[in-house]
Amino acid sequence: MDSFDLIVIGAGPGGYVCAFRAAQLGLKVALVEKRATLGGTCLNVGCIPSKALLHSSEQFVFAKSHAAAHGIKLASVELDLATLLKKKDDVVTKLVGGVAALAKARKITVITGAASFVSASVIEVASRPPGATSDTVIKLTAKNIVIATGSAPVELPFMKFDGETIVSSDHAIDFPSVPRRLVVVGGGAIGLELGSVWARLGAEVTVVEFLPKIIATYDDDIVRAFTRILQKQGLKIEVGAKVTGYANGVLTAERGAEKLSFSADKVLVAVGRRPFTDALNLAAAGVELDEKKRVKVDGHLKTNVPGIWALGDVVAGPMLAHKAEEDGVAVAEWIAQKAGHVNWDLIPAVVYTDPEVASVGLGEDAAKAAGLAVNIGKFNFAANGRALANDAADGFVKIIADAKTDKILGAQIVGRGAGDLISEIVTHMEYGGSAEDLARTVHAHPTMSEAVKEAALAVAKRALHAI
Ligand SMILES: Cc1cc2nc3c(=O)[nH]c(=O)nc-3n(C[C@H](O)[C@H](O)[C@H](O)COP(=O)(O)OP(=O)(O)OC[C@H]3O[C@@H](n4cnc5c(N)ncnc54)[C@H](O)[C@@H]3O)c2cc1C
């Protein structure tokens, strides 16, 4: 039986980054992945393909609806969906190949197959080579085993995925034709991003959300502005509506006593993701789950079993690739007796629509609900020169600072490039910066980032380019 310092189960951004960092630190590492390619949900069916589709569909909308206003005359604009999908596939292929090449260069033993525990220190990996009629099973042992098996889309029990009409994001990144009417159940990041893609490509898209607002973790003013912008783009948004079923091309829902129905050729169910531990046989190792079936871990991502760790989407916390990556680095460092660290209070979140929405730390509504005295600084992109030049005047930056100390507690942005703009504030918060520190930092002109500086100035009611 082959023996390693570390076996990582699952090669998503959490698992492969953990393996990479451990190899950098001199450990003998095996990385086990049941998919044919590395990169996990993120690279294969998540972050990357969705962003490729968002980018291509944005180009389509520009060519169709906005190019003329820039003096660019296009004779005709047609969609070639097969090429658009191929472009997305090419990006994925390039990236997963890149991860495989890096794993090889780092001398990581990559094993393709489904892992399950035999005991706390032994796993078996089953794989079926093409053409074989039974699985080949090998056993491996290690001093440390990391569970990085990620998550899977949540299924509604009364509307199971069939891959054709009732679909998950796995299918919605690959529709072979543009659906005429697409209903998206769930107004979170994944539903809104993929809903936007298909709306831009010509589908009539309705988003049905159970909660009173879409992207419910964001402040009310951000959500109001964002909702209006999406509606202007043609998305229909129904909130406070509980989906009850789908039959004969009609999705039904209820809003209190009101009965709602929506015609739909396809229904994308994007109501969240569940931690994925299926078929891992955790019982053989004695690993405990929490009440939400996530692997239970302590503040150092250790499970209840010595030598077994877990990270990324399979444990509590935001289900985000960059959070999984940071978990992965820290676990590798802890295993190698180094000082790993993740600041789980400062994980930025982004919705990659156009405009994007981004947040970090505490929102205004949450800060006020917690009884904190805060000062708020807001600045509209409509007053930013670069935003006007770039057709990106929708939205605003908001900074939440402690009223007494001026320390920045959080920020939320709705606007073009919000996902990039938020990074500056994350860095600032990482060093415990105040709104005044940020306001006195020089920002290049003309950039959208000047709106961040102005929002920081607005915390002390001294924005220069707004009243
Ligand atoms: C459509 C979509 C868009 C997204 N967009 C973003 C985004 O823009 N930004 C962002 O931060 N996050 C995004 N996410 C979320 C992001 O993909 C996840 O947070 C991230 O992939 C989690 O990483 P992970 O390593 O924990 O798990 P995963 O990426 O899920 O990887 C787990 C891997 O483990 C493998 N595995 C499972 N069980 C076994 C087993 N028994 N044996 C061997 N292998 C196994 C799986 O095949 C999988 O490859 C998106 C998700 C989706 C679905």
Residue 77 is given by DSSP the state -
Q: Would the pTM count as exceeding 0.85?
A: yes
Ligand 1 centroid vs 312 CA: distance in angstroms? Answer: 8
Residue whose CA is closest, atom 38 of ligand 1?
149
Using DSSP bridges, classify how beta strands 2-9 and 136-147 pair: parallel, antiparallel or unpaired.
parallel
H-run or E-run covering 45? helix 40-45
Calpha distance 413→90 (Å, rounded): 31
Q: Is 192 in the pocket of ligand 1 (CB under 6 A)?
A: no
pLDDT of the residue at 130: 80
Grade residue 274 by pLDDT with cuts at 50, 70 and 90: very high
Ligand 1 centroid vs 212 CA: distance in angstroms? Answer: 28
Residue 191: name the closest of 169, 167, 213 by CA. 169
Residue 140: name the closest of 157, 158, 126, 154 by CA. 126
Which residues is 259 bridged to in the sheet? Answer: 254
Q: Is 149 in the pocket of ligand 1 (CB under 6 A)?
A: yes
Calpha distance 456→437 (Å, rounded): 9
Within 13 Å of residue 305, how many CA atoms lie on the same side as its CB?
Answer: 23
Residue 79: name the closest of 168, 193, 166, 175 by CA. 175
Q: Is 9 in the pocket of ligand 1 (CB under 6 A)?
A: yes
Q: Is 19 in the pocket of ligand 1 (CB under 6 A)?
A: no
> For 40-53, what is the mean pLDDT?
98
User: From the alpha carbon of 51, which atom of ligand 1 is closest?
Assistant: 8
Cβ-defined contacts of 371-374 (< 8 Å, 24+):
372/402, 372/403, 372/409, 373/402, 373/403, 373/404, 374/400, 374/401, 374/402, 374/403, 374/409
User: 1 pLDDT exceeds 90?
Assistant: no
Q: Is 10 in the pocket of ligand 1 (CB under 6 A)?
A: yes
Using DSSP bridges, classify how beta strands 258-263 and 250-255 pair: parallel, antiparallel or unpaired.
antiparallel
pLDDT of the residue at 97: 98
Query: Token pair 């900074």 is at which residue?
Result: 399
Using DSSP bridges, classify how beta strands 114-117 and 122-127 pair: parallel, antiparallel or unpaired.
antiparallel
User: From the alpha carbon of 320, which atom of ligand 1 is closest?
Assistant: 19
Ligand 1 centroid vs 272 CA: distance in angstroms? Answer: 13
Q: Is 18 in the pocket of ligand 1 (CB under 6 A)?
A: no
How does pLDDT run across 380-421, given as a tens digit for each residue? Answer: 999 999 999 999 999 999 999 999 999 999 999 999 999 999
- Taking CA atoms, 464 is separated from 18, 285, 424, in Å, by 45, 61, 20
User: 7 pLDDT exceeds 90?
Assistant: yes
Residue whose CA is closest, atom 30 of ligand 1?
150
pLDDT of the residue at 122: 98
CA angle centred on 153, ends 148 and 156, rounded to 5°:
145
- In residues, how long is the chain? 467
Q: Please enumerate in sequence order all residues whose Cβ is within 8 A of that of 289, keeping only pairs 6 or more positions apart, or say none.
A: 277, 282, 295, 296
Ramachandran sector of residue 248 (left: φ over 0; alpha: ψ -120 to 50; beta: rest): left
How does pLDDT run across 319-345, given as a tens digit for each residue? Answer: 999 999 999 999 999 999 999 999 999
Amino acid identity, position 114: A
Percentage of residues of the chain with pLDDT beyond 70: 100
Q: How high is the mean pLDDT of the chain? A: 97
How does pLDDT run across 234-258, given as a tens digit for each residue? Answer: 999 999 999 999 999 999 999 999 9
> For 225-232, what is the mean pLDDT?
98
Using DSSP bridges, classify how beta strands 349-351 and 151-153 pair: parallel, antiparallel or unpaired.
unpaired
How buried is 192 (Cβ within 10 angstroms: 0-12 exposed, 13-18 middle, 19+ buried)? buried
Q: Which is more confidently placed, 130 or 280?
A: 280
Ramachandran sector of residue 312 (left: φ over 0; alpha: ψ -120 to 50; beta: rest): left
Q: Is 12 in the pocket of ligand 1 (CB under 6 A)?
A: yes
* Six token digits for residue 51: 């962003």
* Six token digits for residue 268: 């994308």
How does pLDDT run across 100-146, given as a tens digit for each residue? Answer: 999 999 999 999 999 999 999 999 999 888 888 899 999 999 999 99
pLDDT of the residue at 467: 82
- Taking CA atoms, 275 is separated from 278, 294, 430, in Å, by 9, 6, 28
Catalytic (active site) residue 322: no
Q: Please enumerate in sequence order all residues whose Cβ is within 8 A of that of 389, keeping only pairs 6 or more positions apart, or say none.
A: 446
Residue whose CA is closest, atom 7 of ligand 1?
47
Ligand 1 centroid vs 41 CA: distance in angstroms? Answer: 3
- The SS3 assignment for 72 reads coil
